[in-house]
Structure 1
C-alpha cells in the first residue's frame, strides 16, 4: 500500500510551468513564512485522520487560487478549515496565509454538503495543483491533458492508499480525467456558473437524503 509519506514526496517532486505547487511553492503576496510546509502538514493531517476509513473520494478538476492553493486541501477554502478539523478529526490544520480568511463560493457550497455527512470523504483533484494564466497567478485555468497525465502515478498512489472506494466527480472535467485513467465514477454537476441546485440535487441522489437546506444557505 502507498504510504502518506510516499504520496507527499511525489507531490513535491512535480513541477510545471505556470502551475503553483502549494507544497513547494511560496506566494510572495500572501504566504506566511513556511507556508508550503504548513500546507503539506494540512494534507498529511487530513490523510492521517482518514487513514483506513475512506469510503468515498470527491474529485475536483484542479486547485483554485482562492481555495486549495492557499490551504493545500482540495475543494476547501480558508473559511472552512475549522469545519475540516471538526468533521475529519484532523488535528493539525492551520492557515498558511496572511490577512483575512478568504472564502471561495464553490468551496462554500461543497462544504454545506460535507457538514451534513456522517462519513467524511477524501477530497482530491485529478490535477492536484493550481494552474494559472501566464503572468497572473491570481487566475484559474484548466490544466492541460499532458499535465494531468504526468500525475497518473500520483493518482494511482492515492487510490492504493484509500483502497476500494466510490469515486464522485464534481463536474465533467473531473469525470473526463477519471474516465481517461480507466476509472468509473459517479458525476455530479459542478456548483459554479449557476450549477448549485443541480449539484445539490445530484448529491441528494447519491446519498439518498435531503440537502435542500444547503440550497437555501448557498444562495445567501
Structure 2
C-alpha cells in the first residue's frame, strides 16, 4: 500500500468532514463504506483505504471548484472506492495515487457513466447528498429517506465550508432538497436515470456553459 503524505492528516477541515462521515452508523438498509466493510468483496482494511482515497481526492480538488451533487452512493461507485461516482475502473481517470479496496473491479453504473460523459475538464467536485449506500437489504439501491438526507447535512455543510464551491449542480430532486438551504447558488438538473438521460445532458451542458 502506498504511503499517504503526512500533510493530508494535518488538514482540520478535511478531518472534520471525515469524522462526520465515519460517525454515521450503518443499518440493515444503509451501508457506510467509510466505517464498515463488505466481507463478500473486500477485507477489513477497506474502510481505511476508502477514507485514504477520499483524503487524497479532496485535497487534490481546488477550493472554488463547482460541486456536482448526486443523490446517494451507488453500489458500484463510492460504496466500493470511497470516491463519489467512481467505481474501480474509473479511479485511474483521476490521475491520483488511489488504491482499489475491493477484490474485484466492476464497471461503473449507468448514472456514473452519464455524469463522467457530461463532466467538463477540469472535473467538478463530485459528492452525494447521502454519503452512504441505501439499499433494500439485497444490494439493490433504493432512494434515500428524508431522515438520511438530514443526517448527512452536517457532512455536506462541512464540505461546503471548506471547499467553498462556486456553484452546485443538483443531480435529481433529492440533491436539490439537500442543497436548498446551503449558502451556494444551486441549479437543478434532471437525474439521468429512468428516462432522464437526455434532459440531464442538456441541463449539465447549460450549467457548464454558464460557468465559462
TM-score band, normalised by shorter chain: 0.7 to 0.9
Map of 1:94 onto structure 2 = 99
Equivalent position SS for 2:168: strand
Q: Quick check: 1:56–1:122 contact (8 Å CA) kept in 2? A: yes
CA deviation after TM superposition for structure 1 residue 43, in Å: 0.7
Q: Quick check: 1:42–1:94 contact (8 Å CA) kept in 2? A: yes
TM-score (norm 1): 0.83
Map of 1:130 onto structure 2 = 133
Q: Quick check: 1:2–1:157 contact (8 Å CA) kept in 2? A: no
CA deviation after TM superposition for structure 1 residue 119, in Å: 2.6
Map of 1:48 onto structure 2 = 59
Partner residue of 2:93 out of 68, 83, 88: 83
Map of 2:76 onto structure 1 = 66
Give the Cα separation in 2 of the matches to 1:207 and 1:181. 20
Poorly superposed stretches of 4+, deviation over 6 Å: none
Q: Quick check: 1:31–1:98 contact (8 Å CA) kept in 2? A: yes
| Deviation string, structure 1 residues 49-76 (Cα, Å, up to 9, x no partner) | 0143x32100001101122211111122
Map of 1:15 onto structure 2 = 25
CA deviation after TM superposition for structure 1 residue 183, in Å: 5.8
Q: Over the residues paired in the alignment, what is the CA RMSD in angstroms? A: 2.0
TM-score (norm 2): 0.85
Q: Quick check: 1:170–1:187 contact (8 Å CA) kept in 2? A: yes
Map of 1:165 onto structure 2 = 166
CA deviation after TM superposition for structure 1 residue 16, in Å: 4.2
Aligned length: 199
CA deviation after TM superposition for structure 1 residue 26, in Å: 0.7
Give the Cα separation in 1 of the matches to 2:198 and 2:154. 34
Give the Cα separation in 2 of the matches to 1:151 and 1:204. 28
5+ residue gaps, structure 1, are 86-90, 210-220
Q: Quick check: 2:22–2:35 contact (8 Å CA) kept in 1? A: yes
Map of 1:110 onto structure 2 = 115
5+ residue gaps, structure 2, are 1-10
Equivalent position SS for 1:3: helix
Give the Cα separation in 2 of the matches to 1:194 and 1:164. 29
| Deviation string, structure 1 residues 1-26 (Cα, Å, up to 9, x no partner) | 96111111111111142211111111
